[in-house]
């Protein structure tokens, strides 16, 4: 798209693990960000764009969670980076737009309410890349 602007689609596998008092929530997902960027000055660039996310595996303490409201969600990535020859450094913020709730029932004998966890992305990502 010229010297200043670029379009960069990505495919990213993400594995997250969140610790809770009752156990660990593990999520495997495929992220597909479509980023538009602007080369500001020299090696500096800024970018943003939508990210399409598909959750294909989720477990809470080795128990599969079947009831995630939306396996497919859309989010936003926004960030900045620097390219130093073949090496790239980036920082980006990723946020999911729609709520994505995982529900699981407590299987203890006591009658505790079901647990709900918001699984949408809300994270800062640091990355290091090498161009072949």
Choices 3.30.465.10, 3.40.718.10, 2.40.160.20, 3.40.640.10: CATH for 5-130: 2.40.160.20
Summary mean pLDDT of the chain: 82
Q: How far apart are CA 130 and CA 132, in angstroms?
A: 6
Q: How far apart are CA 86 and CA 7, in angstroms?
A: 18
Q: How do residues 29-38 score in pLDDT, each as one tens digit?
A: 899 999 999 9
Contact between residue 16 and residue 52 where contact means Cβ atoms under 8 Å apart? no
- The end-to-end CA distance of the chain, in Å, is 21
**Which residues face 59 on adjacent strands?**
26, 64
Whole-structure pTM over 0.85, yes or no? no
User: How many Å separate Cα 47 from the centre of its chain?
Assistant: 16
Q: How do residues 38-81 score in pLDDT, each as one tens digit?
A: 999 999 999 999 999 988 887 777 555 555 556 788 999 999 99
What pLDDT, on a 0 to 100 scale, did the predictor assign at position 112?
A: 47
- Considering only CA atoms, which of 131, 129, 55 is closest in space to residue 92? 129
* Tokens read off for 13: 């596998």
């Amino acid at each position: 798209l010229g010297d200043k602007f670029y379009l960069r689609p990505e495919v990213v596998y993400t594995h997250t693990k969140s610790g809770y008092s009752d156990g660990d929530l593990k999520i495997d997902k495929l992220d597909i960000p479509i980023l538009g960027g602007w080369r500001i000055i020299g090696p500096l660039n800024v970018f943003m764009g939508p990210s399409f996310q598909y959750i294909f595996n989720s477990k809470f303490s080795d128990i599969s969670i079947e009831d995630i409201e939306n396996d497919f969600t859309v989010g936003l990535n926004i960030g900045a980076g620097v390219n130093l020859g073949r090496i790239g450094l980036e920082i980006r913020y990723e946020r999911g737009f729609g709520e994505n709730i995982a529900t699981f029932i407590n299987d203890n004998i006591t009658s505790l309410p079901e647990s709900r966890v918001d699984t949408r992305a809300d994270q800062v990502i640091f990355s290091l890349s090498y161009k072949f």
